[in-house]
Structure 1
Amino acid sequence: MIQIYINNYLCLVGQNKKENWSLLDNSRESDILFHLSSFPSCYVILKATDIPPKEVIFKCAELCRSNTKYKNLKNIKVDYSFCSNITKGDNVGELEYKSNKKVSTILV
């Protein structure tokens, strides 16, 4: 797992599917999870107790893209949602959203 601070917000990056699930297991409902929209990717968990600035959201989305094999692609969509809206999928490393209406997407 990688730990990075962005504007005093702690961000955790999973480096494999087991770490991704471990990050999700240890997240709070108020934390925000980032994941590429259409490709397999790491999980980035933003440890948040408040609504972070848009700049922090964008940097977390970039962090998610930059830690994948798609790091050189442009205009990739990254989903993000509160961890309270996320459950584990059927296979290790997969996730599902409880409500797609509570998922935001950003282009990086």
Structure 2
Amino acid sequence: MSKGLPMQAGVTATGTIRIYNPIKNSEEHDSEGIFIKKWIPELSYIPPHLLHEPWKLGLIDQQLYECEIVKDYPFPIIDIEETRKKASTAIWGIRKKEEIKVQ
């Protein structure tokens, strides 16, 4: 599949669960941070390579790029990897139930 084209329904193996990582998708589809900087002006001075995870900025970078974490931009409210694992476990648990299996 060519980069940039949407995934087509029905072309992946059956039984596949897709849980997308919002950080990875942001980096892949908005590598320069154009969308982010348009809608979150507090991040407008942060360079693209740091933009997708601004809560990881060190104190010097926060001063340099005029974005104080907590004051200007919050820490994440969820742990992405932890919630991905929970969602995957929940989905696989549901899919294993006899009443939802396709006959």
Q: Give TM class, smaller chain.
A: under 0.3
More helix by share: 2
Larger Rg: 2
TM-score (norm 2): 0.26
- The higher-RCO structure (CA 8 Å, 6+ apart) is 1
Is the strand fraction higher in 1 or 2? 1
